[in-house]
Amino acid sequence: LLGKLKDPSLVVAKAYVGGEWVAKSDSGKSFDVTNPSTGDVIASLPDLGRAETARAIDFAYTAQKAWAAKTGKERAAILRKIYDLMVANADDLATILTTEMGKPFAEAKGEILYGASYVEWFGEEAKRVYGDTIPGHQPDKRIIVIRQPVGVVGAITPWNFPNAMLARKFAPALAAGCAMVSKPAKETPLSVVALAVIAERAGLPAGIFNVILSKTSSDIGKEFTENEKVRKLTFTGSTEVGRILMKQGADQIMKLGLELGGNAPFIVFDDADIDAAVEGAMISKYRNNGQTCVCANRLYVQSGVYDQFAEKLAKKVAAMKVGDGFEEGVTAGPLIDANALAKVEEHIGDAVEKGAKIALGGKRDARGGLFFQPTVLTGVTRDMKVAREETFGPVAPLFRFETEAEVIEMANNTEFGLASYFYARDMSKIFRVAEALEYGMVGINTGLISTEVAPFGGIKQSGQGREGSKYGIDDYVEMKYLCLSIS
């Protein structure tokens, strides 16, 4: 890995606590990070526990006061420097990301710039955390509303977007005047540590951003939810773990920002532009090898265009190139681990057993390891696992439907409510369907909806809170109302 970087000092096998780099854990234990494409060990990192997490929280608690006392413009200046350094080092950050996570280098670079865009956006927003004045309810009363940082924030992030999922939390938290203790996924911690290196270089004061490295994250989650100095926990990951954290935080009424699982429907109506729908499905389904929480998971295609769509999609998918993320032209890297591979195989096996046909792929790739062939399934029905569970892999199950009412019912028949997509041309139908879909986000005639200027987030069991946009800062501030009596 180091040989591939312009600046090898971005790779640090240490945690970052109170502005100090921590090479050894209290327990002396460590854990390895591997490259999912080759299986090679990239780094051995200290495996921290509760005591070190509590220490980081103490540092953050102390440092946060001075950080919050700075003007928005002062905080903005540091966030701007972090943004500039992320962009200047985008190639190296993408190289680190591809090495530990496996996605194609071009996608990794896209992720770095996407993550950086949140740092830019919220740096700008730091100056605009406006309050309000309200006409008094009595002649002597003056009412003012101010918004203050919540304080110390714990952040737990997943491996599928190691940089961007953290940047989406780090940027609004720091902009608002909060301090953060982060715990990246054990599979992909180096991308977050590299961000700490950059933040330090940009002049972020010690203690404002901390990185706890840990193999068994449940202890860290407990410290975050039980330590009274932590005022907010922001988590991106599975609904299952989100539920655990919510239960753990109940005793201290922990404020939670949750970006959880999705089970995105992708609907193609008869009147859609089929070529555009195929393009959208490629991006929405196969980006990151199907390992995103907004990936199309269930593709519903209306009867009149089903065969045409299936054929065109399979043709496009057949042109994908599976391989190591650094190889030229590769569009599908390895899956993250053996469990992910097993789940993809299980979902395909279940569907085929219940009557689905494999239009393309369906097997492990000839390269072996964690590589799987991009797959298209036809004749999929609602009794199959793919109809209910998130596959998180490169499998497009195509369901056939007849009417608008039927497809809305099927699309909403899930406990999840993150992203949804549909393709249609009729204007009335576009509004009807957009309003009827029970999702936090709806892509209409597009398969790509993520941007820092819009509120990303889910309803139902896909989470709470929003990341990005002018609303994103709300997750990191408390409202306080001042009631003043004048004589």
Please give the positions annotated as active site. 259
Q: Which region, judged by CB under 6 A, interacts with ligand ADP, from 13-21, 238-246, 433-441, 451-459?
A: 238-246
Considering the complex, what minimum distance in angstroms separates the CB of residue 188 from ligand ADP?
9
Please list the alpha-helical segments (H only) found in 250-322.
274-286, 303-318
Q: Is 48 in the site for ligand ADP (CB under 6 A)?
A: no
Q: CA dist 334 to 105, 162, 250, 289, 337, Å? A: 12, 16, 38, 8, 8
**How far from chain centre, in Å, is Cα 196?**
18
Q: Which is nearer to ligand ADP, 237 or 393 (CB)?
A: 237
- Dist CA 26 CA 48 (whole Å): 7
Considering the complex, what minimum distance in angstroms separates the CB of residue 7 from ligand ADP?
26
Give kind and range of the element (H or E) at residue 236.
strand 230-236
Helices (H) and strands (E) in the chain, counts: 13, 20
**Of residues 169-188, those binding ligand ADP (CB under 6 A):** 185-186
Considering the complex, what minimum distance in angstroms separates the CB of residue 167 from ligand ADP?
15
**Per-residue contact track with ligand ADP, 111 to 150, x per CB under 6 A?**
----------------------------------------
Q: Is 102 in the site for ligand ADP (CB under 6 A)?
A: no
For residue 234, with 0-12 CB atoms within 10 Å meaning exposed, 13-18 middle and 19 or more buried, which class applies? buried
Considering the complex, what minimum distance in angstroms separates the CB of residue 213 from ligand ADP?
11
Nearest to 20 by CA among 200, 179, 214: 200
Choice from 30, 62, 217, 381 touching ligand ADP (CB under 6 A): 217
Q: Is 276 in the site for ligand ADP (CB under 6 A)?
A: no
Nearest to 88 by CA among 109, 118, 102: 109
Q: Which is nearer to ligand ADP, 81 or 168 (CB)?
A: 168
- Dist CA 1 CA 99 (whole Å): 7
What residues have CB less than 8 Å from 74, skipping those under 6 apart?
Answer: none
Q: CA dist 353 to 194, 346, 383, 385, Å? A: 46, 10, 11, 11
Q: Which region, judged by CB under 6 A, interacts with ligand ADP, from 21-29, 45-53, 237-245, 444-452?
A: 237-245
Q: Which is nearer to ligand ADP, 186 or 229 (CB)?
A: 186
Q: Is 158 in the site for ligand ADP (CB under 6 A)?
A: yes
Q: Is 244 in the site for ligand ADP (CB under 6 A)?
A: yes
Q: Is 237 in the site for ligand ADP (CB under 6 A)?
A: yes
Q: Which residues bind ligand ADP (CB under 6 A)?
A: 156-159, 185-186, 217-218, 221, 237-238, 241, 244
